[in-house]
Structure 1
């Protein structure tokens, strides 16, 4: 096997750094800073697994429940909000006993509702959605070219759905499947789940960048005065022809067409790469330098590599001509090159041709590979370049293993390669990562790209805990030692300061965490500096208004009017008359939760209709945000004991209290077959 070239890497650099953890700052006056945040708790759904109970949190939800801890496994990343144990599954902290065969996450909306399915059923949170064809139901997300979700649509063979809302009259069979597109079918374009129109005329779909009515043309949603709809024709999702001009992503290109032009567009992964007029090939409407055989030209999806009957190519750029080019790869070509002769492993990023291979990430070329080496390379499920005997394996974005050494961004380290592992971090959004080998634990910040050994941590007992690191002695964050870890529990986390308008506010963002250890309760602030405050041995909600919304574990009591579900001994005398139940329960302690007639969205629509935004908030955009209130839903459905927990000032809380007093009666909570009083809390976002 001959190595043609290998991207240069320095093996002489030896990375090593000693660091002793620094102590956090004690702040006896520490309070939660709200800033411009839009939620009470952390923004992202999270399960906090403690020794004998679990906390579920999202925007404004905080509940404690008691699963089988040994088998309890929260899902991560796109599946956050779901968890499983040996008894069943949990959706946003609520237990659901169900056959999970074919479990698949479809999406979530801005209200943090989860849409998901199994082989036989479809759910929104824990509510099954009826009259949907489960087999053909699939996401149909509409995104812009940056990959940002514009709206969430779904479809089955019959209809299009705006999240879980069926769009009557829509046609699922002809609904678009491109994620970089408007939602449309053969009849209409849809916006926010409704048929989009202009001047009473429904829009007609052209492609991702253009749509029209009988009289007008619109480009990226804006009216175009100098175009007539009859002369507009889609060439692909992003290429458009108007008369003899070609537009790409709505912008006019230098490319010109004739009536005799034979136009073809090559598309992969929902992105338009190249277009031809039958004579030349263009990228983004601009002619490229390299000549290729157009009839046999094609490309490998995801590889950014192209081929024709004469060779295999990769995208490049000519600095002199300032044009994109296609560079022929240095394979030894023997015979025709087409999609049957070429293969690509998307995991390793390697292109195979006969007994040769090209690694697109490292720009490495290999020839004279054995059949076994080729089979191993094609089956590889990791980002690996293993043909030169280096056993190079990419562990993550920062680290790789090569020649039985660990490398950090190309620099050799002293970490033990056999025992080196990333430590699991429950917060996938955190920039702070921890790793360890048999000798040491170290911290890595992905933003500033450095690593620090934490020499005073006990390696054997070290483990991650949410965004934190703990050993048998202390709790750490980054390389900062905070409080003792004996009896440690994480009770709640709160989003703190989130900065001002357009990122011009240089104030560092912050998050706050409520802990309990063997010494008592602690409030910890994580920001540019890490600080803490001891709250005492007994939990007191008066320390902080945000504490009112949390649900404490049973063993700590619940210093508010909520009464957790209790086990009531059966009365020996069955004929004894039942006492009137005037206790106030939380939502977890009842069999049927209270609900607003028509659903919670109807309730928010009622508030929005009646809520008058104070003039001061209208004048001050930065004042927009959440107003939080709690109240009791009585047995007859009326609301009582309305209390605003937090507001934006200017009378925003009083206004929400006024509107809540106008609310129609709810459907009360049910416990043991009887209506009961139930505590309820809501956020209302003033926008």
Structure 2
């Protein structure tokens, strides 16, 4: 996946935005608060609560206290549903330790059953389903056929229906699949089983057609429909949607009015939300949109976009609902030379279309003329930001969040300079940042907001909260003092019902610090209850808990 850099065409001004200060709010004291939800024994998702000397794992029905190697304890970068954690001794799956070399750890895929999840993962030495090692022919090449949550996996030798090896399959030629159907050079497979039609192999052509030696088929779930007017011997794919046989070109199952003698001239573009076919005489959009005047010989599409061009211009497609028609609108370049892929390109993030020495922002409908050669070079590197006049540019050195980035020695929000010190500016976690002077709460609508009363030197993430030398916080809501802080458990609170339910959701947290035990409810507001220096009987604070609470 290509890295995207933000290009903004708003005016760059020298004055800083208004960094309106935020004041940390105090929690609500509630001496009668109890955990009121009984959906789960604990929390309705998998969590690891990391304290100084130990870790607590929880899910809906269980809670485990773990003592991993704390120096090396960590979470993988892509941690599907928070099932995994690692330390130097092995891998934790849903709180269960699997002693193994963690080198090459990777989550390969999972099923779609939320209540009974099965996850495939591997290290350099083995492949596992949940906590059990499974047999594959080549660990190094074992991977999803395409979709992370699809049904099929492969290595260099075989195809697997999840963890079941399919005999006589060929992993090298298996085709991309996100559902329960795929094929390779040997067979077609449905739900992991080899399928046939009239005792012949079924070979997919593209996303629309399949064929045997005699028949062309389309599939609807487990049923196949024969298309007798399409020639099986000559049918071949042109793209995911277009195909051709000796008689016709097709979009889906629809035969386009392309003359037989022009089939040899066919070119196809099929990307994102648009699909076009040219026979050298006419350009067709999907299933025969002829309401265009494109020059068929010079027609093309801009990469990774829905925009098209011919020698006369660059276009976007618009649907006029009142007239029930499609029109193609030409972008407002000053066209002096025929448009081609040599003098026209789109930036990697699709922000600008550049033709000759001109740029157009199709999203904000802004046109820029007389770009310099340096600006064009920056655009090709995806590093150009134009001001309203198109005369200034900023090179984005680092992007932090939407509209928030560093250029040179300045931190910008939405094209405006901020007061943040660029040399010490860093991300704390979530939407908190800091520099040598302040802690900042980042709002996409308002920019960097200075948060008073948070310590910028010691602020850090603590189990989804924030902690400095004085307190822990939920965003800028103060909770309790942070000295000797531990998070012992999380409990499911209120969950929204139907779409019209406006009651805010909540969770309950059991903390311990130097002052004792605390029950905390986090919702649209933060409420706290001091439980005392000794943890009282659980019925006093969580009457729904079905077993005795084990502190540690």
State the shift of 1:418 in Å. Answer: 3.1
In 2, Cα distance between the equivalents of 1:108 and 1:244? 41
Per-residue deviation at 1:10?
Answer: 6.0
- Alignment partner, residue 52 of structure 2: 51
Pairwise CA distance, 1:396: 1.3
Instruction: Structure 2: state its 5+ residue gaps.
Output: 1-6
Match of 1:538 in 2: 534
TM-score (norm 2): 0.73
Q: Deviations over 1:412-467 (max 9, x none)?
A: 54333333322224xxxxxxx22222222233466x87764321212222112232
- State the secondary structure of the residue aligned to 2:228: helix
Kindly report which structure 2 residues correspond to 1:259-274, keeping only aligned pairs within 5 A, or say none: 259-262=260-263, 263-267=266-270, 273-274=275-276
Corresponding residue for residue 424 of structure 1: 429
- Classify the secondary structure of the residue corresponding to 1:41: coil
Q: Distance in 2 between the 1:238 and 1:546 partners?
A: 55
Report the equivalent of 2:74: 73
User: What residue number does 2:3 align with?
Assistant: none
Q: Displacement, 1:484?
A: 1.6
Residue aligning to 1:133: 138
- Which stretch shifts more, 478-487 or 272-281? 272-281
Aligned mates of 2:379, 2:334 — CA distance in 1: 19
Per the alignment, residue 402 of structure 2 pairs with 397
Provide the secondary structure at the position in 2 that maps to 1:105.
strand
CA contact (8 A) 1:311 1:328 kept: no
Structure with the bigger RCO (C-alpha within 8 Å, sep 6+) is 2
Whether 2:508 is the aligned partner of 1:512: answer yes
> What per-residue deviation string (whole Å, max 9, x for no partner) do you get for residues 258-284 of structure 1?
444534432458x76433344333444
Following superposition, the deviation at residue 209 of structure 1 comes to 5.2
2:193 is equivalent to residue 190 of structure 1: no
Which residue of 2 is the match for residue 117 of structure 1? Answer: 122
C-alpha RMSD over aligned residues: 4.9
Alignment partner of 1:395: what SS?
Answer: strand
Structure 1 gap segments, 5+ residues each: 144-148, 426-432, 558-687
Aligned residue for 2:175? Answer: 176
- Over 3 Å counting, the alpha-carbon distance change for 1:357 and 1:450 in structure 2 is closer
**1:471–1:135: structure 2 CA closer, same or farther, 3 Å change rule?**
closer
1:237 and 2:240 correspond: yes
CA distance in 1 between counterparts of 2:243 and 2:41 reads 43
Deviations, residues 596-615 of structure 1 (Å, cap 9, x unaligned): xxxxxxxxxxxxxxxxxxxx
Q: Partners in 2 of 1:82 and 1:247 — Cα distance? A: 45
Q: Is this contact kept in 1: 2:122–2:128, CA < 8 A?
A: yes
- Cα distance, 1:207–1:188 mapped onto 2, change above 3 Å: same
Which residue of 484, 487, 499 maps to 2:484? 487
Structure 1, residues 553-585: CA drift from partner, whole Å, max 9, x if none? xxx44xxxxxxxxxxxxxxxxxxxxxxxxxxxx
Q: Given the superposition, is the C-alpha separation of residues 6 and 497 from structure 1 closer, same or farther in structure 2, using an over 3 Å criterion?
A: closer
Q: CA deviation at 1:219?
A: 6.5
> How many angstroms does 1:17 deviate by?
1.4
Return closer, same or farther for 1:496/1:196 CA change in 2, 3 Å cut-off. Answer: farther
Q: Could you state the TM-score of these two structures normalised by the residue count of structure 1?
A: 0.61
C-alpha distance in 2, partners of 1:506/1:212?
Answer: 53
3-state DSSP of counterpart to 2:421: coil
CA 487–7 in structure 1, closer or farther in 2 if over 3 Å, else same: same
What CA distance in whole angstroms lies between the structure 1 residues aligned with 2:196 and 2:491?
43
Q: Quick check: 2:10–2:415 contact (8 Å CA) kept in 1?
A: no
User: What is the match of residue 19 of structure 2?
Assistant: 16
Q: Distance in 2 between matches of 1:122 and 1:40?
A: 30
User: Are 2:435 and 1:437 aligned?
Assistant: yes
What whole-Å deviation, never above 9, does each CA across 1:3-59 have from its counterpart, x for those lacking one?
xx9723363672321222222222334344548x6884243x443321122233455
User: By how many angstroms is 1:477 displaced?
Assistant: 0.9
- Flag the 1:203–1:508 CA change in 2: closer, same or farther, 3 A: farther
Deviation at 1:107? 1.9
